[in-house]
Amino acid sequence: MWLFDEIVKFHITELEGQVNHMKYSYYPGCTLKTKAKELDRYGRLSAAKLGAELEEIENWQCCGAVYPQAEDEIATKLSAVRTLDAAKQKDQELVTLCSACHHVLKRVNDDMKNNEYVRTRANNYLKLDVPYEGETSVIHYLEMLRDRIGFDTLKAAVVNPLKGVKIAAYYGCLLLRPSGVMAFDDPENPTIIEDFIKAIGATPIKYSQRNECCGGYIAMEDKGAAQKRVDVILSSAKNAGADLIITACPLCMYNLDANATESVLPVKYFTELLADALGVKEED
């Protein structure tokens, strides 16, 4: 019998370990340190309030900004691998906030796990003590809210529900596609941000363009093309009755804000609303 008890005890402690495992490696990325400080600051404040500790990876480097799709691009993926390996060293899940960083880190991680060509060459370059093979789990802040903390817990923690605010979620491309790798939500009918909006007490507004591209990548190259995309998205959200649009992506934020011509809607980072609802927005 004693053996049985020991086993049960062991499992309980292990289980408790999992429940309390609320420490994450955190990768902010360049933009969150400069133009998107609010995204970062409110994200950290809210996480702390919800009991999740975000430990910023030391000496982090650029994620690469854009995922190189070419099969033979290795060097441009290396800095992302360093970040992933840093999280592996701490045995923590890696949380990201910026959609672009998340996209790059998740896809490079997938390459390191499943693409032998990339894995071998990247490890040959990096010469790590132990080769990195995609061990780190990369999750977006929203996934942390949904899958680790839980929207119910979040709802219970809300002190300042945003009642009556009609919010349109803007997903963009980078969080959802390609769904095979990102595995974030149904790429054509996502619900995670709408569920988040409900959790903070506001009303989600569903509109057709929420998962269509805003043209952020082309904003520098061809402003006119980006403006066209932004107008399509904003008018779709506005016609559906939204007061406000939220996003997780600094590039989308910039684009929806700076390149709107016909329709204009206020654009905010989702973390700002989160901090507001949790009553931590004014803390600093």
Partner 1 sequence: MSLTNTVTAEDLIRISGVDPSKCMQCGKCSGACPSYDEMEYHPHQFVAMVRKGQIEKLMASDAIYQCLSCFACLERCPRNVEPAKLIEAVRVAVIRQQGMNHMTANDIPEKLDEKLPQQAIVSAMRKYSK
Partner 2 sequence: MQRIGVFVCWCGSNIAATVDVKAVAEAAKHEPGVVFSTDYQYMCSENGQAMIREAIKEHRLTGVVICSCSPRMHEATFRKTAVSAGLNPYMVEIANIREQCSWIHKDMAEGTEKAIILARAAIAKVHLNAPLVAGTSPVTKRALVIGGGIAGIQTALDIADAGFEVDIVEKAPTIGGRMAQLDKTFPTLDCSACILTPKMVDAAQHEKINIISYAELDSLSGFVGNFTAKIRKKARFIDETKCTGCGICTEKCPSRKGLNDFNMGLNTRGAVYIPFAQAIPNVAVIDSAQCIHFRTGKCGLCEKNCSAGAIKFDQKDEILEREYGAIVVATGFKPIDASAFNEYAYSDSPDVVTSLEFERIMNAAGPTKGKLVRPSDGKHPHEIVFIQCVGSRCTEDATKGKPYCSKICCMYTAKHAMLVREKYPDVKVHVFYIDARTPGKNFDEFYRRAVEQYDVDYIKGMVGKVSVEQDHLHVQGSDLINNEQIHINADMVVLATAIEPDPTARALGTMLTASMDTNDFFTEAHPKLRPVESPTAGVFLSGVAQGPKDIPETVAQAGAAAAKVIGLLCKNELTCNPCVAHANEALCNGCSQCERVCPYGAITYEDKEVRSPEFRGIKRIAVVNGAICQGCGACTVTCPSGAMDLKGFSNSQIMAEVDAICR
Interface residues toward partner 1, by CB under 8 A: 29-31, 34-36, 62, 64-66, 68-73, 76, 98, 100-101, 173, 176-179, 187, 212-213, 215-222, 225, 229, 232, 250-251, 253-254, 257-258
Nearer to partner 2, 158 or 240 (CB): 240
Looking only at residues 151 through 180 of this chain, which bind partner 2 when binding is defined by CB under 8 A?
Answer: 179-180
| Dist. CA 27–CA 21, nearest whole Å | 18
Among partner 1, partner 2, none, what binds residue 186 when CB lies within 5 to 8 Å by partner kind?
partner 2
Among partner 1, partner 2, none, what binds residue 78 when CB lies within 5 to 8 Å by partner kind?
none
Nearer to partner 2, 236 or 263 (CB): 236
Token pair, residue 140, equals: 């977006």
Among partner 1, partner 2, none, what binds residue 189 when CB lies within 5 to 8 Å by partner kind?
partner 2
- Say whether 147 sits in a helix, a strand or coil: helix
| Dist. CA 54–CA 58, nearest whole Å | 12
Least Å distance, CB 161 to partner 1, is 30
Among partner 1, partner 2, none, what binds residue 208 when CB lies within 5 to 8 Å by partner kind?
partner 2
Least Å distance, CB 116 to partner 2, is 17
List alpha helices for 50-140, DSSP H.
78-89, 99-114, 116-126
What x-and-dash track marks residues 191-210 binding partner 2 by CB under 8 A? Answer: ---------------x-xx-
What x-and-dash track marks residues 227-246 binding partner 2 by CB under 8 A? Answer: ---------x--xx------
Length of the chain (residues): 284
Say whether the peptide bond before residue 178 is cis (omega within 30 degrees of 0): yes
- Assess contact for 162 and 207: CB atoms under 8 A: no
Among partner 2, partner 1, none, what binds residue 204 when CB lies within 5 to 8 Å by partner kind?
none
State the DSSP string of 82-107: HHHHHHHHTT-PEEE-SHHHHHHHHH
Least Å distance, CB 22 to partner 1, is 28
Long-range contacts of 263-267 (CB under 8 A, 24+ apart): 263/231, 263/234, 263/235, 263/238, 264/234, 265/168, 265/234, 265/237, 265/238, 267/170
> Which residue, among 49, 76, 51, 52, has the nearest Cα to 65 in the 3D structure?
76
Token pair, residue 116, equals: 């032998």
Among partner 2, partner 1, none, what binds residue 98 when CB lies within 5 to 8 Å by partner kind?
partner 1
- Say how many residues touch partner 2, by CB under 8 A: 12
Taking the CA atoms of residue 13, residue 18, residue 22 and residue 28 in that order, the dihedral angle to the nearest 10 degrees is: 140
Among partner 2, partner 1, none, what binds residue 206 when CB lies within 5 to 8 Å by partner kind?
partner 2
Binding site for partner 2 (CB under 8 A): 179-180, 186, 188-189, 206, 208-209, 212, 236, 239-240
